[in-house]
Amino acid sequence: MTAAIDWPSTTVLVTGGTGSFGRKFAEIALKNLEVKKLIVFSRDELKQHQMRTDGFDMPNIRYFIGDVRDTARLHRAFQDVDVVVHAAALKQVPACEYNPIEAVMTNVMGAKNIIDAALDNKVKLVLALSTDKAVNPVNLYGATKLVAEKLFVQANAYRGVGPTLFSCVRYGNVVGSRGSVVPLFKEQKDTGRITVTDERMTRFWITLEQGVRFVISSIEDMKGGEIFVPKIPSMNILNLAKAVAPDCEIERIGIRPGEKVHEVLVSEDEAHHALEFEDRYVVQPMHPWWESDSLPGGAELPDGFRYASNTNKMELSIDDLKKLVQQLGGH
């Protein structure tokens, strides 16, 4: 594993820093890790202003307006940065389907730009956020994130004798994040009717706090080239609807284009070169530069293993979901 990070002497930049993940990451990085400097890199000046007015105005936080499509701006922003967390993406499935070139420009070419800027500025560690939709993708969003994963993993071969290491984190739906189903159900609750695409549908479920803490632990453990997958619970969409609005009528509207009934976080093919740990799976890169003994203590997975939301042993009941929704409060 990499040497322990001395966070109080570390400068961290997070792309997409004004999003749901970025805000929670900033909160934990500033309060718990006490990082030397946190750079919030995003393209929305209004959201940056809102972050400042919401209390993110400490002396060690900086706001950079920029787009991951802009290589020159990334090169400028990455100067003297130690760790980059890449969370910027176009992630709404229907929007990506309708605007495919835009999705490719941000999610794929943006990943390339991150890699180039990190290598040229000798950033030490780069961790990119991915999604379960990158596994056997059926929509463009998932396909772009699959390509991004491949780019970040193989970037370790591009660094030569440089110090930069690249890895990915892959997890499922984030409870209560902007654009997620919980806020939608809460809005629909007032109408007395909730729409569900397919009552069989299952999803992996993780909170913002869990996601951020998993990212931080992965940064501390990464050797470069891994895809870190947390062990997280699954939920059934119908149970979630009953937990949020038990008295509402439920209307089934059918699966939308690019949507799966169930999601997968580790495929059967990846399981051949993945290891299991107490709290996670780690997909190892299939490249000659990877040392097979890089991850001591992990257990090999059995033949035919598949980490899917419908066969996950950790399943949230309606009561579990009610408690989770209550914890979200105003989300």
Query: What's the rounded Cα separation, in Å, for the pair 329 and 331?
Result: 6
Query: Degrees (nearest 5) of the Cα angle 214, 219, 220?
Result: 100
Rounded distance, CA 24 to CA 318, Å? 26
Burial of 2 (0-12, 13-18, 19+ CB in 10 A): middle
How many of the other CB atoms lie within 10 Å of CB of 94? 13
Query: What DSSP string runs through 31-59?
Result: III--SEEEEEES-HHHHHHHHHTT---T
Cα gap 107→142, rounded to integer Å: 10
The first and second tokens of residue 9, run together, are 């002497």
133 flagged as catalytic? yes
Local structure of 244: helix, strand or coil: helix
Catalytic one of 37, 91, 133, 145:
133
* Residue 302 CB partners (closer than 8 Å, separation 6+): 271
Which residues are known catalytic residues?
133
